[in-house]
Amino acid sequence: MCRNTGNRKRVPKKAVVVQHVPHEGLGSLGPFLKQAGIEAEYIRTYRGEKVPRCIGTGAEKDTVLIVLGGPMGAYEDDKYPFLKDELRLIESALKNGSPALGICLGSQLMARAAGAEVYPGKAKEIGWYTLRLTEEGKRDRLFVGLPDEMDVFQWHGDTFDVPFRGVLLASSDLFPNQLLKLGKRAYAIQFHLEVTGAMVDSWLRENKEEIEALKGKISPKAVEEETSSKIATLRRRGEAVFSRFLRL
């Protein structure tokens, strides 16, 4: 049983970080956890590490949940049984009002845990794409003051609906649902604010077959060139968002 018995206003001292593949880590978010004195406790599902049942109660009441990206689909829990455990964990975070951040696959799992459908999109976003904040996004405390339109790094083919009581904060041309707020302290981010230049290089190598299967629709060289010119700006904006999130 997972009941909320703690004071939610206390500052988090630990972050439970669910990591699905070695090359998709915290990126630029990692230093902010250290600066805030928050210890990252990794749950590496690719190593078979057990996902906890719940978060936000008892000794875990001061814990933030971060669910990272990965190549699997949020609906593939028959193929990847640990996803069922993650959904249960995310449900507990949403129920108990814990600060929670889902990135890419993590955002899709959060949307599903909140009751929305997750499914393949009509195309893939791989590389740099323009994101537009909604009116709610412009007013949100994580994104207020950021440009209404900005280029962000993407690597996904799946998407999600907006769940009941979820708030849509941003969209792109190919994927209208890019950023959700779920409750007061939970955010589902489809794109990658945490990515670094080194991570982009690694992803292009690790996912070479995926790019080749697109038959020329994605140019790794073009992605690399855009990354060199845009990554510094992305980092600054990511720093603003992450620092605000950790103050929630």
Q: Backbone phi, then psi, for 103, in 5-degree steps? A: -120, 125
Q: Is 20 a catalytic residue?
A: no
The residue from 54, 104, 125, 156 that is catalytic is: 104
Q: Is 54 a catalytic residue?
A: no
The residue from 194, 206, 209, 224 that is catalytic is: 194
Q: How many CA atoms lie within 13 A of 243 on its CB side?
A: 8
Q: Is 104 a catalytic residue?
A: yes
At 125, which amino acid appears? Answer: E
Cα 146 from Cα 202, distance rounded (Å) = 28
The residue from 2, 60, 91, 192 that is catalytic is: 192
The residues that are catalytic are: 104, 192, 194
